[in-house]
Amino acid sequence: HFKQFNDLHGHTFGDQVIKLVASTLAKGIEQNAVAARYGGEEFSVILPATELPDAVNLANDLRMAIAAKRLIQRSTKKDVGKITMSFGVTTYAHPEDPTAFINRADQALYSAKKAGRNCVKHLQPRGI
């Protein structure tokens, strides 16, 4: 519910939260992986040569590392709680269209949000 967070606490604080999430993701992945902001409050983590069960485990580790952070508003020193994240995980099925791959990850993400948020859901490509 990041839009609500921004509306309540302001976009400057929201930007700091985005930076905290990005930093936590970058620190939590291996050197050959890539974490990137995908848009708004969405991030993508690309894990080359990683099997789906290992990617799901890493997503859970990242989710817990982010949830362990406490948010303190610098200007007021007020504790405003913690961040939770939902993750959608899938694997690329060569030679599929990259759009199908991204759409499957999105489907898994929305499944996680529908399941109550702060969880990891995954989808296998068809035929695997």
Catalytic residues: 41
CA distance 8 to 2: 10
d(CA 56, CA 58): 5
Q: Which of 43, 99, 47, 94 is nearest to 66 (CA)?
A: 43
Token duo for residue 19: 């930076």
Return left, alpha or beta for 43; rule: phi > 0 is left, psi -120 to 50 is alpha, else beta.
beta
